[in-house]
Amino acid sequence: MRREIVEIDEKFGKEYAGRYVFQEISWAKRSRIIQKHTKYHPQTGQILSSDFVAIQAETIWASLKEQPPNKPITLEKLLSEGEDGIPVQLGELFSQVVNKLCGLTSEELKNSCGQCGVGNPTQASSNSACVRSSDGHHYSCGDNQLRLWKHS
């Protein structure tokens, strides 16, 4: 299974700085996560609702294999908002890494993650964070959007 190593500096706070290792999850695991957080009509089987936040948080949690020794990431923190949760841009970064690693298409991303969007390469501003992954990709969080580009 493919792995992605992401080094985070102190841009999101000292508690989140360190090395994170994500591993691709199986299609079956991803399907079970989606089904767990999706309600279906009992007779027609049509989707009534889906909790996309819970689906994304559990997908990140299932993919996260290593994190800094202080264990700053928990499923509860991924699901929480405000001061109890992780920084929004860090959550978006983790979402993009995991979605790329687990093979989610752009269309699936649009449908399940709303504004996480992959954009065109941009330069990081002073208000954004930039990290490099093990495969040479740079991830940048800025202006409420996450962008991915290949390091040349």
User: SS3 for 46-79, per residue?
Assistant: CEEEECHHHHHHHHHHHHEEECCCCCCCCHHHHH
Which of 3, 20, 152, 42 lies closest to 94, judged by CA? 20
Which of 79, 82, 88 lies closest to 16, judged by CA? 88
Asked if 25 contacts 59 with a C-beta cutoff of 8 angstroms, the reply is: yes
Strands 18-23 and 64-66: antiparallel
pLDDT at 58 over 70: yes
Q: Which residues contact 111 (CB under 8 A, 6 or more apart)?
A: none
Q: Residue 140 has what pLDDT?
A: 42
pLDDT at 114 over 70: no
Mean pLDDT of the chain: 76
Q: Which residues contact 100 (CB under 8 A, 6 or more apart)?
A: 4, 137, 148
What CA dihedral angle connects 74, 33, 66 and 7, to 10 degrees? -90
How many other CB atoms are found less than 10 A from the CB of residue 109?
18
Residue type, 55: I
Span 59-112, pLDDT tens digits = 999 999 999 999 999 999 999 988 889 999 999 999 999 999 887 655 554 554
pLDDT at 131 over 80: no
pLDDT tier for residue 4 given thresholds of 50, 70 and 90? very high
- Domain ranges in the chain are 3-115
When computed from its CA atoms, the radius of gyration of the chain, rounded to whole angstroms, is: 16
More confident residue, 18 or 104: 18
Q: Residue 56 has what pLDDT?
A: 94
Q: Residue 103 has what pLDDT?
A: 75
